[in-house]
């Protein structure tokens, strides 16, 4: 078939493209003329969870940049928060003849059905960023080290705290997302000893307080805490929960507070709620994704840190894995993640802690975002 004609060329073009992207960043990515002949289709389909969060628009943009630079047309569909829509998207792509599916599930367990439909059709399934759970029909997992993300967030809070009795507010992602558990696990590993020694006092979760003497939590125990402090990855839910927590808390529970916020969107919502409370003297709040709005919040001193997960790397890894499958090979594996049924081979990428001190070097000088996006940069 024409589209499989020159896989070696595709690989070299993609490698060049990813090196080029890593060097230049998103704004200045012209399509190399010799590499963009006629927009041939690659037998790969991509399904992302929602357009309503900047994180996934970022992934779409980075995929388009990498694929356009390599001269390929690949369809990217969004599930808009619906597992039913996600399955329809997968079926549509199978009908169009994709051989590899790159899918970031809206709901990790619900996506098992879509993965199984793909497996039955002989399509390789690459779980992207979030793990598809409770099925054998996942071939590979392209991911960041999500336990390290949670650990980096918690370590930031620990490094900024001194003395004892510091008020700690915990927030988590959606319990339908396996990553929410990994982030929480990484954070708990670092925070729990500092709760046990009195550095922090949990203020907004009776479930976490009940489990605070346990260094390691089972998934069910994590689920109890996450169920109580979930933002559902939704800004309004995060804002409402933070406001409700602040309403119940006394002035003594406030003062200089420490907040574990799971990602940038929820961090901005939670930070705004804490900033508006006159009993809060100062706050340290975490995040992740290095979203443009949060990088600006960091520059402005409204969000303390974020965890940069370089989506360019994830995209390059996903494309390399897809090409490996199209060539009849298998992608590189350094780790495995259990999805409740099988150990899924993976190659997790490293993450970087970013705050006001290194924001320019880590986010702008690295080419991740162009300086023009921001005001007040020194
Ligand atoms: C991703 C995060 C993202 C969150 C909400 C997680 O699975 O790893 O980067 O912020 O979902 O969309």
Instruction: Indicate if the alpha-carbon torsion angle 53, 175, 154, 167 is positive or negative.
Output: positive
| pLDDT-derived band at 39, boundaries 50, 70, 90 | low
CA 47 remoteness from chain centre:
15
What is the predicted pLDDT for the residue at 35? 42
Higher per-residue pLDDT: 33 or 42: 42
Å from CA of 47 to ligand 1 middle: 15
Burial 4-32 (b: 16+ CB within 10 A, else e): eeebeebbebbeebbebbeeebbeebeee
3-state secondary structure of 325: helix
What is the predicted pLDDT for the residue at 38? 57
What is the predicted pLDDT for the residue at 69? 85
With tokens 């990813």, the residue in question is 18
| pLDDT-derived band at 191, boundaries 50, 70, 90 | very high
Q: Is 268 in the pocket of ligand 1 (CB under 6 A)?
A: no
- What's the average model confidence in pLDDT over 200-206? 98
What is the predicted pLDDT for the residue at 72? 77
With tokens 């804490």, the residue in question is 274
State which fold the 146-308+355-364+368-373 domain adopts: Rossmann fold (3.40.50)
- What's the average model confidence in pLDDT over 16-31? 38
Residues with Cβ within 8 Å of residue 34, at least 6 apart in sequence: none
What is the predicted pLDDT for the residue at 70? 78
Q: Please state the pTM of the whole predicted model.
A: 0.90
What is the predicted pLDDT for the residue at 364? 97
- What's the average model confidence in pLDDT over 143-158? 98
Share of the chain above pLDDT 90, in %: 86
Phi, psi dihedrals of residue 323, rounded to the nearest 5°: -65, -40
CATH architecture of 6-144+310-347: 3-Layer(aba) Sandwich (3.40)
Per-residue pLDDT tens digits for 246-296: 999 999 999 999 999 999 999 999 999 999 999 999 999 999 999 999 999
What is the predicted pLDDT for the residue at 28? 34
Tokens read off for 46: 């991509």
Q: Is 53 in the pocket of ligand 1 (CB under 6 A)?
A: yes
Show me where the domains of the chain are located.
6-144+310-347, 146-308+355-364+368-373
- Are both 6-144+310-347 and 146-308+355-364+368-373 of the same fold? yes
Residue from 263, 286, 313 whose mutation best tests the ligand 1 pocket (most atoms within 8 A of CB): 263
Position in ligand 1 atom list of the atom nearest CA 264 = 10
Per-residue pLDDT tens digits for 61-76: 999 999 888 777 899 9
3-state secondary structure of 220: helix
Position in ligand 1 atom list of the atom nearest CA 179 = 7
DSSP letters along 147-212, please? HHHHHHHHHHHHHH--SS-EEEEE-B--TTSHHHHHHHHHHHHHHHHHHHTTSEEE-S-HHHHHTT
Per-residue pLDDT tens digits for 328-353: 999 999 999 999 999 999 989 999 99
Which residue's C-alpha comes closest to atom 5 of ligand 1?
A: 233
Lowest-pLDDT range of 34-38, 84-88, 320-324: 34-38
What is the predicted pLDDT for the residue at 33? 36
Which residue's C-alpha comes closest to atom 10 of ligand 1?
A: 263
């Amino acid at each position: 078939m024409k589209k499989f004609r020159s896989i070696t060329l595709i690989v070299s073009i993609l490698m060049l493209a990813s090196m080029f992207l890593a060097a230049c960043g998103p704004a200045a990515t012209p399509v190399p003329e010799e590499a963009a002949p006629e927009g041939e289709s690659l037998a790969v389909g991509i399904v992302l969870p929602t357009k309503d969060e900047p994180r996934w628009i970022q992934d779409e943009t980075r995929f388009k940049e990498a694929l356009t630079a390599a001269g390929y047309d690949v369809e990217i569909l969004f599930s808009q928060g619906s597992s039913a829509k996600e399955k329809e998207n997968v079926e549509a792509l199978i009908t169009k003849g994709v051989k590899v599916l790159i899918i970031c599930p809206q709901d990790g367990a619900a996506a098992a059905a879509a993965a199984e439909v793909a497996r039955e059709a002989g399509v390789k399934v690459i779980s992207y960023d979030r793990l598809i759970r409770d099925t054998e029909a996942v071939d590979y997992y392209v991911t960041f080290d999500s336990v390290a993300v949670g650990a980096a967030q918690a370590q930031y809070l620990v490094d900024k705290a001194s003395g004892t009795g510091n008020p700690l507010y915990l927030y988590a992602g959606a319990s339908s997302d396996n990553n929410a558990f990994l982030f929480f696990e990484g954070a708990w590993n670092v925070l729990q000893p500092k709760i046990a020694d009195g550095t922090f006092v949990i203020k907004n979760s009776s479930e976490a307080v009940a489990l605070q003497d346990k260094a390691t939590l089972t998934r069910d125990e994590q689920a109890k805490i996450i169920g109580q402090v979930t933002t559902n990855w939704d800004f309004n839910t995060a804002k409402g929960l933070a406001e409700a927590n602040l309403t119940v808390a006394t002035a003594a529970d406030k003062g200089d507070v420490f907040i574990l916020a799971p990602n940038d969107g929820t961090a901005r919502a939670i930070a705004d709620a804490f900033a508006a409370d006159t009993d809060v003297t100062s706050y340290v709040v975490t995040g992740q994704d290095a979203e443009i709005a949060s990088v600006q919040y960091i520059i402005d001193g409204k969000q303390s840190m974020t965890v940069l997960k370089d989506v360019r790397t994830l995209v390059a890894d996903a494309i390399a894995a897809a090409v490996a499958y199209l060539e009849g090979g298998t992608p590189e594996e350094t780790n495995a993640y259990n999805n409740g049924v099988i150990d899924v081979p993976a190659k997790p990428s490293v993450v970087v802690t970013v705050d006001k001190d290194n924001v320019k070097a880590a986010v702008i000088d690295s080419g991740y975002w162009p300086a023009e996006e921001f005001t007040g940069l020194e």
